[in-house]
Amino acid sequence: MTHGYPKNGRVIFHVDMNSFYASVEMAYNPSLKGKPLAIAGNPEERRGIIVTSSYEARAKGVKTTMPLFQARKLCPELVVLKPNFERYRKASKEMFKLMAEITDLVEPVSIDEGYLDITECGSQGTPLEIANRLQQRLLNELDLPSSIGIAPNKFLAKMASDMKKPLGITVLRKRELNKVLWPLDVAEMHGVGAKTKEKLNQLSIVTIGDLAKADDSQLRRVLGINGVRLIQRANGEDERLVDPDSVFDFKSVGNSETLRQDTIDDTVLFSLLRKLSVKVAMRLKRKGYVGETVQLMIRYHDRKTITRSITVHRPIAEVDDIYGLAIHLFETHWNYDPIRLLGITVQGLVEKQNYQEQLDLFHYKEHLKKEEIQTVIDNLTSKYGYNPFEHKTQISTPHPTSEEPTTSFQKDFLDDYTKDH
Amino acid sequence: MQRFEELEHVQPVAVRMLKQMITNQRIAHAYLIHGDSGTKKRAIAQTLALRLFCQETDTIEPCLTCRDCKRVISGNYPDLHWIKPDGLSIKKEQIEALQREFTYSGVESNRKVYIIEDADLMTVNAANRLLKFLEEPSQETTAILLTKNQQQLLDTIRSRCQVIALRPLSGQAIEQALIESGVTPENARLFQAVAPQLDQAKALDQDEWFAEARKLMVQLMQLLIDKPEEALLFVEKNWMNHFDDRDKLLMGLDLLLYWFKDLMYLHIGDIEHLVLLSYKDQLEQASLRYRRIDLVNILTAITQAKRKLNQHTHPTLVMEQLTLQMQR
Amino acid sequence: MKFIIQRELLLESLQHVMKAISPRVAVPILTGIKIEALPTGIKLTGSDSDISIESFIPKEEDGLVHVEDIETGSIVVQAKYFPEIIRKLPLKTVEISTDDNYQMTVVSGGSEFHLNGQDAMEYPQLPVLHTDNSFEIKHDVMKEMIKQTVFAVSTVETRPILTGVNMKIDNGEMTFVATDSHRLASRSVKLAEDFVHIQFNNIVIPGKSLAELNKIIDESDDSLTISVADNQILFQTKNLYFLSRLLDGKYPETDRLIPEVSKTSVKVKTKTLLQAIDRASLLAKENRNNVVKLETRDNALQISSNTPEVGQVTEDVITDHIDGEQLKISFSAKYMIDALRIIEEDNVIVHFTGAMRPFILYPENNDHILQLILPVRTY
């Protein structure tokens, strides 16, 4: 066993790129290095605001969301650039590639930060050695500075990466919590915003230490389940796994099925589409996602395969929505040749809670009605503990199909990052 | 041909049907006119469009002299849309442009006509789009779809159209059409006899195999007269080489049939029906060498040979036997 | 046909009608310009079949002679060459004549051009419009009405009728309504007394045509005469006719979709709100709907936006007053900016009726303008 790995426990990295956009710009144009640099929404206009800035600029007091004219007052030599997202995405992709060379367990959190679970990476050296090597490679190969937090879980790793910037590597052990973490203001804690801080302060909880010792039930009353979670975090507890399948890869969910024999019988084909829609809807619901695009795959008897998709500006997750669009695609694109396989995928997924739907003048009233019904159902569901309106839908299945089972399409976002084997 | 009266000679049933609909003011939202090439699909569609747009007429015919008629003919009438395949197919974009056009009011009135040539060449996507607006016809819009292969069209499209079947061209009509398209009158007579459809008949003009086949036929006929003893060798060496499958052999026999039939026509003094007009001189000379009874026997032999070929008798055997029979 | 004309005037007229000519038209004759010599002057026409522009050069105007030696007649010439030729001719006057074979001769000084033309009878016949249902409106009012509505038409063809502006005239008042189904803009104006008898309901003018018209009419208080036929609408200034085809179909009833009650009413400085939304939208550009959030405070509106990849921004906009329920609502910054931009008055009134319902904006003391925006639903 290599030194630095716990007997029963995990080693988690949180890698956080330092003033990412500014760093990418400097890597792109090295003459900017060492200069105070800011990325602003609209540099030509006085009222543009700072999106991010380099450490040199921060040293002069330049802050994110500060209006440009104010920043220029503080730092007259400030270099201001427009954001170039294409450039940032490319850099981000490269940086996750480097992480993926250490382990498959990489969870991208955003364009410039991610978690790694290196518990099983003993063969590559101690955690500190691995972190050093990663930080050096990011710097040497991509010219991008980063801070890495090393801890037994995601929360502590995140807190640790925050402690030394730029180019820090910080190990945060559970036994050091009282010295390192607890004296800090609660607002420093990941997950505590201005509002929560206000509420905590009202309960005389000022430091993370106060929070660690706070009363469970009192906090639950004020902050709900989140309050309980915060106490656990303050005590250094966080069971969340590093999940490569979280945020990003979850762009699509799909199922396909091969028919027992090639067919042009539309009752068979329609009922298969129905069945696939039900499966996809179930998987979406389980994961709490909605999408805007439905893709239909048709494979003909001669293996010629077409995929056709349709995008709508409303959240697609329900069976009827998926089925309706799949039928539409099918009727538009089927050329009446015998079909061997059909597949339905819902794409462009976002978590339902992050979904934004532009309402429509001619349909908002229907929306409101649905909403009201849903509220009633939700209330009854929580009252009875189950949904009294839901009944097991009988799905007419096409003839029990061949050995080939329904397959899920695996669309892995991390494909971009994982090295070729 | 821009008047129903003229078109009626070629397509009496279809044109009478259309005239009836015009008289009764029962114009359908969509027509599907199908027939082989040369059956006057385009002319009928144009005449219908002319009649729908002409404001000067009070008869069944368009006046052909008013401003509207003139512009329908020149392609400048803004509310007539004529779609043709773009390359090998009619693309989705072409139907989309049409669709967009129909979201607007008409330029001159609210009557609109669109004609889609070779409608069977619509891509699946284009066809499905077209279907959408065939399903929701607007009052004053008339669609006219033209095709040679109506079975290639989606059933759903066909079922939304009033179908007008054009009758195949008569041999005479094909011959006339061939001459109009630049084929010599001599060849036109032969081509229409050999091929039942205008397209196929036209294609013969460029067909080198067919040109060679004609040459061989005349050579064989010449040999039979000049050096009958070499005929058998010629058949074995040249004929069987060129007519190397059953269909081709049947075509060869047809050519021989026309030759001897023509000889017969010459015997009875009926030169109206001659098929091999290009070889009129050779025919006239040859006719002196055969008695009428010989011709009857040879014609019977050729017919029998055709039957044998169809019954899968060995081709060389059939041809050798026939050659001997033609030698007398 | 024959006439001698002032070159500058002909050129100016050509530039007007060229605006309607497109090289890609299905009807071949429309690649040309129609020229008509009438006893009273010269008329030029250009068209892409969606819009048509006619420009008239009177024989005489204010005692000045523009056209001489007119022999009436007409012809269509290629738009590709004719204007360039006129532009480059040496003299101040041009003599234009045609022969029976549709050959046009253009003479100016020593230069003589011969151009192949086409029979003017081949050109589309523009509808004859009756004056009994025409009415007048000032140029600048028309320009305002276009500017304040046309931005809200739909640009996608999924519901083609929404790509147009609905013109209604009732009770002596003319209203323009445009909606892409996510927002709606409406503007009305009282017509002069003479036109109270005029009534229109389902006239839908393509947004593109109105935008084009706006470019052509000048900012003045001259009168624009508007006439409507079955399938076309005509806007007529002194020497310019602008015709547009109409959209075919029924414009949806929008009146009943506009909320009549308000649960939260706000009065706020138009500029201040516009600038705050504009700033907040800087960080919202990356998210699909360009969404900003608005939340009522005691005497302020809190505008915020948050894009995880970029950052977040919050700003309080002090209001003149807020009445009614507390409210949190999200909407497209773009729609809000579009709506606020056309309001010239200092103060704007906003009526909300809940986070899931459309809200309306109008300038203080001006009920001729109404802007409606549908919110963005967040889950």
Query: CB-based contact (8 Å) between C249 and chain A?
Result: no
Four-residue CA torsion sign, A281, A287, A288, A292: negative
Number of Cβ pairs < 8 A linking chain B and chain C = 65
Per-residue model confidence as pLDDT tens digits over C154-199? 988 778 899 999 999 998 999 999 999 999 999 999 998 888 888 8
Cα–Cα distance measured from residue C121 to residue C29, given in angstroms and rounded to the nearest whole number:
10
Q: What is the CATH number of the domain that holds A229?
A: 1.10.150.20
Say yes or no: B243 and B116 in one domain. Answer: no
Is there a domain that residue B175 lies in? no
**pLDDT score, position A384:** 64
Per-residue model confidence as pLDDT tens digits over B253-284? 999 999 999 999 998 888 888 889 888 888 88
* Chain-chain contact of C377 with A52 (C-beta, under 8 angstroms): no
Report residue A390's pLDDT band, with 50, 70 and 90 as the boundaries.
Answer: low
Say yes or no: A201 and A297 in one domain. Answer: no
As a whole-number percent, the residues of chain A with pLDDT over 70 amount to 84
Token output for B28: 């359908």
Report residue B101's pLDDT band, with 50, 70 and 90 as the boundaries.
Answer: confident
* Strand, coil or helix: B272: coil
CA distance C182 to chain A (A): 5
Is there a domain that residue B182 lies in? no
Q: What is the mean pLDDT of residues C360-364?
A: 94
Which residue carries 């906090």 as its tokens? Answer: A219
Is there a domain that residue A93 lies in? no
More confident residue, B79 or C229: B79
**HSE (CB half, 13 Å, CA atoms) of A44?**
0
Kindly report the average pLDDT of chain A as a whole number.
Answer: 81
Catalytic residues of A: 113
Does C131-255 match C2-122 at the fold level? yes
Per-residue model confidence as pLDDT tens digits over A318-370? 898 899 999 989 988 888 889 999 999 998 888 877 778 888 888 888 777 77
> Which has the closest alpha carbon to C122: C42, C2, C33, C22?
C33
Per-residue model confidence as pLDDT tens digits over B132-164? 878 877 778 899 999 988 888 888 888 889 999
Say yes or no: A321 and A404 in one domain. Answer: yes
Q: What is the mean pLDDT of residues B44-51?
A: 95
Q: How far apart are the first and last CA of chain B?
A: 51
- Residue A213 pLDDT > 70, yes or no? yes
Is there a domain that residue B84 lies in? yes
- Residue C310 pLDDT > 80, yes or no? no
Which residue carries 């101040």 as its tokens? Answer: C92
**Among candidate residues B139, B168, B197, the one where a domain is terminated:** B168
* Chain-chain contact of B74 with C122 (C-beta, under 8 angstroms): yes
Say yes or no: B139 and B239 in one domain. Answer: no
- Residue A415 pLDDT > 50, yes or no? no
CA distance B252 to chain C (A): 49
Amino acid at C211: A
Is there a domain that residue A168 lies in? no
More confident residue, A408 or A317: A317
More confident residue, C252 or A363: C252
Buried b (16+ CB within 10 A) or exposed e, C15-50: ebbbbbbeeeebbebbbbbbbbbbeebbbbbbbbbb
Is there a domain that residue B177 lies in? no
The ipTM value here is 0.83
Show binding-site residues of A for Mg(2+). Answer: 16, 112
pTM: 0.65
More confident residue, A385 or A244: A244
As a whole-number percent, the residues of chain B with pLDDT over 90 amount to 39
Which residue carries 């008047």 as its tokens? Answer: B3
Phi and psi at residue C135, to the nearest 5°:
-145, 170
Show binding-site residues of A. Answer: 16, 112
Say yes or no: A337 and A399 in one domain. Answer: yes
Per-residue model confidence as pLDDT tens digits over B85-96? 988 888 888 998
* Chain-chain contact of C160 with B103 (C-beta, under 8 angstroms): yes
More confident residue, C203 or A392: C203
**pLDDT score, position B234:** 92
Cα–Cα distance measured from residue C308 to residue A109, given in angstroms and rounded to the nearest whole number:
10
**pLDDT score, position A399:** 39
Cα–Cα distance measured from residue C164 to residue C187, given in angstroms and rounded to the nearest whole number:
14
Neighboring chains of C (3 or more beta-carbon pairs < 8 A): A, B
Say yes or no: B14 and B130 in one domain. Answer: yes
Report residue A383's pLDDT band, with 50, 70 and 90 as the boundaries.
Answer: low
Q: Is the distance from CB of C152 to CB of C337 less than 8 angstroms?
A: no
Cis peptide before C206 (omega within 30 of 0): no
What is the domain count for chain A?
3
Q: Bridge partners of B60?
A: none
Report residue A2's pLDDT band, with 50, 70 and 90 as the boundaries.
Answer: low
Say yes or no: A196 and A281 in one domain. Answer: no
Hey, which residues 184-203 in chain C have their CB within 8 Å of chain A? 184
Query: CB-based contact (8 Å) between C232 and chain B?
Result: yes
Cα–Cα distance measured from residue B283 to residue B280, given in angstroms and rounded to the nearest whole number:
5
Token output for A337: 């040749």
For A43, C166, C287, C292, the CA distances from A46, given in Å and listed in that order, are 7, 40, 24, 21
Q: What is the mean pLDDT of residues C264-278?
A: 94
A413 CB-contact burial (10 Å; exposed 0-12 / middle 13-18 / buried 19+): middle
Cα–Cα distance measured from residue B218 to residue B223, given in angstroms and rounded to the nearest whole number:
9
Domain residues of chain C, as ranges?
Answer: 2-122, 131-255, 259-373
Domain that residue A213 falls in: 177-234
Is there a domain that residue A216 lies in? yes
Is there a domain that residue A155 lies in? no
Tell how far CA B250 is from the center of its chain.
21
* Chain-chain contact of C124 with B67 (C-beta, under 8 angstroms): no
| Nearest residue in chain C measured CA to CA from A45 | C279
CATH of domain C131-255: 3.10.150.10
Q: What is the CATH number of the domain that holds B74?
A: 3.40.50.300
**Among candidate residues A39, A59, A86, the one where a domain is terminated:** A86
Domain that residue B139 falls in: 4-168
CA distance B139 to chain C (A): 12
How many CB atoms are located within 10 Å of the residue A117 CB?
Answer: 23
Query: CB-based contact (8 Å) between C247 and chain B?
Result: yes
Amino acid at A141: E
Say yes or no: A228 and A280 in one domain. Answer: no
Per-residue model confidence as pLDDT tens digits over B214-239? 999 999 999 988 888 888 999 998 99
CA distance B32 to chain C (A): 23
Is there a domain that residue B119 lies in? yes
**pLDDT score, position C129:** 72
**pLDDT score, position A289:** 86
Lowest mean pLDDT among A64-73, A196-205, C83-92, C351-360: A64-73
* Chain-chain contact of C313 with A49 (C-beta, under 8 angstroms): yes
Q: Class for domain C2-122, per CATH?
A: alpha beta
B263 CB-contact burial (10 Å; exposed 0-12 / middle 13-18 / buried 19+): buried
* Chain-chain contact of A331 with B125 (C-beta, under 8 angstroms): no
Report residue A43's pLDDT band, with 50, 70 and 90 as the boundaries.
Answer: low
Say yes or no: B217 and B153 in one domain. Answer: no
Q: Is the distance from CB of A62 to CB of A69 less than 8 angstroms?
A: no
Token output for A238: 């966080």
Query: CB-based contact (8 Å) between B203 and chain A?
Result: no
**Among candidate residues A86, A104, A137, the one where a domain is terminated:** A86
Token output for C188: 């009305």
Per-residue model confidence as pLDDT tens digits over B173-201? 888 888 888 888 888 888 888 887 888 88
What is the domain count for chain B?
2
How many CB atoms are located within 10 Å of the residue A8 CB?
Answer: 4
Enumerate residues 6+ apart whose C-beta is below 8 A from C133. Answer: C198, C227, C228
Phi and psi at residue A82, to the nearest 5°:
-80, 150
Q: Containing H/E element for C327?
A: none
Per-residue model confidence as pLDDT tens digits over C112-130? 999 999 999 999 988 877 7
CATH of domain C259-373: 3.70.10.10
Cα–Cα distance measured from residue B107 to residue C49, given in angstroms and rounded to the nearest whole number:
6
Q: Containing H/E element for C282?
A: helix C270-282
Is there a domain that residue B181 lies in? no
Say yes or no: A230 and A259 in one domain. Answer: no
**pLDDT score, position C343:** 93
Query: CB-based contact (8 Å) between C49 and chain B?
Result: yes
Kindly report the average pLDDT of chain B as a whole number.
Answer: 89
Is there a domain that residue B202 lies in? no
Say yes or no: A53 and A184 in one domain. Answer: no
Enumerate residues 6+ apart whose C-beta is below 8 A from C2. Answer: C37, C69, C70, C71, C73, C95, C96, C97, C98
**Among candidate residues B137, B153, B168, the one where a domain is terminated:** B168
* Strand, coil or helix: A210: helix
> Which has the closest alpha carbon to B277: B169, B174, B175, B200?
B175
Query: CB-based contact (8 Å) between C128 and chain B?
Result: no
| Nearest residue in chain A measured CA to CA from B126 | A332
- Tell me which chain B residues have a C-beta less than 8 angstroms from the C-beta of A334: 124
B305 CB-contact burial (10 Å; exposed 0-12 / middle 13-18 / buried 19+): buried
Cα–Cα distance measured from residue C218 to residue A400, given in angstroms and rounded to the nearest whole number:
73
